[in-house]
Amino acid sequence: MADAHVFPIRVYYEDTDAGGVVYYANYFRYFERARTEMMRSLGIESSRLQDELGVAIAVRRCMAEFMRPAQLDDMLEVETRITTVKGASFMGEQVVRRDGEDLVRLDIQLACLNLEGGPVRLPDDVRAALQDS
Amino acid sequence: MADAHVFPIRVYYEDTDAGGVVYYANYFRYFERARTEMMRSLGIESSRLQDELGVAIAVRRCMAEFMRPAQLDDMLEVETRITTVKGASFMGEQVVRRDGEDLVRLDIQLACLNLEGGPVRLPDDVRAALQDS
Amino acid sequence: MADAHVFPIRVYYEDTDAGGVVYYANYFRYFERARTEMMRSLGIESSRLQDELGVAIAVRRCMAEFMRPAQLDDMLEVETRITTVKGASFMGEQVVRRDGEDLVRLDIQLACLNLEGGPVRLPDDVRAALQDS
Amino acid sequence: MADAHVFPIRVYYEDTDAGGVVYYANYFRYFERARTEMMRSLGIESSRLQDELGVAIAVRRCMAEFMRPAQLDDMLEVETRITTVKGASFMGEQVVRRDGEDLVRLDIQLACLNLEGGPVRLPDDVRAALQDS
């Protein structure tokens, strides 16, 4: 669990608000796209998890710090790093950056749920892939 | 099919973009909220359609005209009127208004689909309710 | 700062995701609608703050806990409570509830910014209104 | 005006709804990302238009046909083609495709507006670039 995954995101009109900057809730969309691509890079696809294994990865808790705003047409990078993997959950750190400057930081705890929403163990190959990331 | 259904909507930051007005795609969210409430007022709930009857109402085609922009904190009204009800689809007209002035107009055709996405007849009570609206 | 502000929110298709529940980032939209209405109930409108006073209230930091998911057609309540008011920022607690059950909890810190994004003191009438809320 | 611009888009949870497919209003977000990238490929950036030239490109009218739904994790392509360029507006055709199959088609008319929302002529270099596209 040493390397960070980096994912580029462009800011479009849809992401901004009348204050002229990215609307705060939309950073959470960015963070989830980056987590999804980090997982995909490990061979884990959301649709396969749901359809074949009957589980979903859900956000259990998160803490965000908004330091500087992103703006229309900005080219951003989201860095994602897994920090802890447990039996039925894992934790990570994510940062939205522009030109090397941190804009928004996130600490996040994710849980593995079955389709009824109850906690279940992470599938073995998923846990192994996350631990090796 | 004489009366129109009217639904109030407030504009929040989430709805606006860096141009200082409501982002064009978000009017389609407003229109769908208004259609959902029009249906609910007829005793038809989306979740019941999906869970009990195994059908969903999907947009098949729409034509929108954007005349004037809505802005942050505006109090809007969405008027919804069913114009035609067929066996497996129906059509309607919707308008977003502010103080009696038309901002965005929509002509829409909706289809009844089964959970595999194929066209199916509207359930009898739904069709009857739409025809009496 | 004793009373909580309560704001009703209905769940529409736009709010849900393929997991069948409300998408996690959309709770932050709900929380902001509720904060906006809490402020409006105190006589403070976002558009007036921005246009007349040249300030905006921005999220500086937040911590969310997702306990149970909301679903399509659910009728929710968002409770908002201001806990601390300082010179240029204030803090609050928010909860999304369904039938009296907590679904999502938020601790939030908000800052007053000028239109260049720098921190400024809360306008006197805004601070007074928040302290009396 | 012969070549079409093609832009890839991945479907994330944020784009889907409880019906298990992409929410209809979100295709309009996809279409706008693709238009923005088509413009950027011609050297036209939204933020420069707004900040330097005091104009914005707004949707005036559009007609969408929804043929097949996109799903979570799908890799899509949006094709954008300018069909007509006038003094203060232009028209185009857009298609969302998956594996060569049309999912959603859009006919769109866009207008050039000043910052007060009134119609203005397209800046000369923008019109020239659109005509050569």
Domain boundaries, chain D: 5-132
Cβ pair D18:C17 closer than 8 A: yes
Cβ pair A17:B17 closer than 8 A: yes
- Residues of chain A positioned with their CB less than 8 A from the CB of C58: 19, 24, 66, 69
Q: Is the ipTM of this complex over 0.85?
A: yes
Answer yes or no: pTM beyond 0.95. Answer: yes
- Contact at 8 Å (CB) between B72 and B16? yes
Distance of alpha carbon D82 from alpha carbon D91, whole angstroms: 6
Distance of alpha carbon D84 from alpha carbon D57, whole angstroms: 15
Mind listing the pLDDT tens digit for each residue in C7-24? Answer: 999 999 999 999 999 999
* Position with higher pLDDT, A117 vs C68: C68
Q: What is the pLDDT along chain B (133 residues), one digit of tens a residue?
A: 558 999 999 999 999 999 999 999 999 999 999 999 999 999 999 999 999 999 999 999 999 999 999 999 999 999 999 999 999 999 999 999 999 999 999 999 999 999 888 999 999 999 999 998 8
What pLDDT does B132 receive?
Answer: 87
Distance of alpha carbon C10 from alpha carbon C26, whole angstroms: 12
Distance of alpha carbon B77 from alpha carbon D37, whole angstroms: 34
Say whether C17 is catalytic. yes
Decide if pLDDT at A82 tops 80.
yes
C-alpha distance from D124 to closest chain A C-alpha (Å): 22
- Residues of chain C positioned with their CB less than 8 A from the CB of D20: 18
Architecture of domain D5-132: Roll (3.10)
C-alpha distance from B62 to closest chain D C-alpha (Å): 5
pLDDT mean over A122-132:
93
C-alpha distance from A19 to closest chain B C-alpha (Å): 7
pLDDT mean over C74-93:
97
What pLDDT does B1 receive?
Answer: 56
What pLDDT does D2 receive?
Answer: 57
Mind listing the pLDDT tens digit for each residue in D31-57? Answer: 999 999 999 999 999 999 999 999 999
- Residues of chain C positioned with their CB less than 8 A from the CB of D18: 13, 16-18, 20-21, 71-72
Cβ pair A18:C58 closer than 8 A: no
Q: How does DSSP classify residue A20?
A: S
Catalytic choice (B15, B17, B51, B74): B17
What percent of chain D has pLDDT above 90? 92
Decide if pLDDT at A61 tops 80.
yes
What pLDDT does A1 receive?
Answer: 56
Chains that touch A (3 or more CB pairs under 8 A): B, C, D
Distance of alpha carbon A41 from alpha carbon A36, whole angstroms: 9
Give the residue from D78, D104, D108, D103 showing the smallest Cα distance to D93: D108
- Contact at 8 Å (CB) between C103 and C97? yes
